[in-house]
Amino acid sequence: SSELTQDPAVSVALGQTVRITCQGDSLRSYYASWYQQKPGQAPVLVIYGKNNRPSGIPDRFSGSSSGNTASLTITGAQAEDEADYYCNSRDSSGNLPVVFGGGTKLTVL
Amino acid sequence: QVQLQESGPGLVKPSQTLSLTCTVSGGSISSGGYYWSWIRQHPGKGLEWIGYIYYSGSTYYNPSLKSRVTISVDTSKNQFSLKLSSVTAADTAVYYCARRTYSSSKTYYFDYWGQGTLVTVSS
């Protein structure tokens, strides 16, 4: 399968921890990368590989993976974390080298 | 710091060809390990990968768009380009160029993005 499935919307109280998940067969073979996109802006890479953060990404962002599910965890969510989050991977079936999840809208209450 | 910048017409007529260029600065497009990509986002929707090119000229396209897409590279100008033919209103979207990095056999990611350019298909 060349699909990555995300929950359309997730909410979290300010300062609490939230996990955003991404499911797909390809995640058994490849790590997911995660992107944050705020309105009117380009996506920004927040997590890649096993659990790597690019320079400038706060350490409250972390990633993990188990079986066919990858997770992005925000520990102590801040108001500025409210955004759309997309997962991305390589398709393991060979049909599509790049596949994105449908995105999760994170609301910080 | 690598930067990418899209350029091209913001309005294209139906049935015509959409043409965009991405200029890369702060790094060489000829460096190995990177796949220079085009991604689009329809208004209010998610991200759709269009295709990518390696500096050598090797390309890979989304099968859903393959018949209409051409991506090319000009290493002398540190640019790569997108052409999408026979456009319709369904091709109206924000188009991003991005660098996809190959880190290991299990690790690929888009680490640098352009700011995006809205292309509207309308007569």
Burial annotation A36-71 (CB, 10 A radius, 16+ → b, else e):
bbeeeebbbbbbbbeebbeeebeeebbbebeebebb
CA distance A100 to chain B (A): 7
Residue of B62, B63, B108 lying closest to A90 (CB–CB) = B108
pLDDT digits 0-9 by tens, A5-63: 999 999 999 999 999 999 999 999 999 999 999 999 999 999 999 999 999 999 999 99
Cβ separation A103–B47 shorter than 8 A: yes
pLDDT digits 0-9 by tens, B86-123: 999 999 999 999 999 988 888 899 999 999 999 999 99
Q: Give the model's pLDDT for residue B104.
A: 82
Mean pLDDT taken over chain B: 96
Residue of B nearest to A28 (CA): B106
Residue of A50, A88, A102 lying closest to B110 (CB–CB) = A88
Question: CA–CA separation, B69 vs A66, rounded Å?
Answer: 36
For residue B7, pLDDT beyond 80:
yes
Paired with A100 in beta bridges are A88
Contacts of A98 in chain B (CB under 8 A): 37, 49, 52, 62, 100, 108
3-class DSSP assignment, residue B110: strand
Cβ separation B60–A101 shorter than 8 A: no
- What is the arrangement of strands in the sheet containing A18-23, beginning at the earlier edge strand? A5-6, A18-23, A69-74, A61-66
Cα torsion B97, A105, A98, B50 to 10°: value is -40
Residue with tokens 């090119």: B53
Q: Is B3 in the A-facing interface, judged by CB distances under 8 Å?
A: no
Please, which residues have CB within 8 angstroms of residue B115's CB and are 6 or more apart in sequence?
A: A41, A42, B5, B6
Contacts of B34 in chain A (CB under 8 A): none
For residue A1, pLDDT beyond 70:
no
Q: Give the model's pLDDT for residue A17.
A: 98
Identify the sign of the CA torsion B89, B94, B98, B102: negative
Cβ separation A43–B104 shorter than 8 A: no
Identify the sign of the CA torsion A32, A37, A42, A46: negative
Q: Is B74 in the A-facing interface, judged by CB distances under 8 Å?
A: no
Cβ separation B109–A45 shorter than 8 A: yes
Mutate to test the interface with B, among A98, A99, A105 (most CBs of B within 10 A): A98
Q: Is B37 in the A-facing interface, judged by CB distances under 8 Å?
A: yes
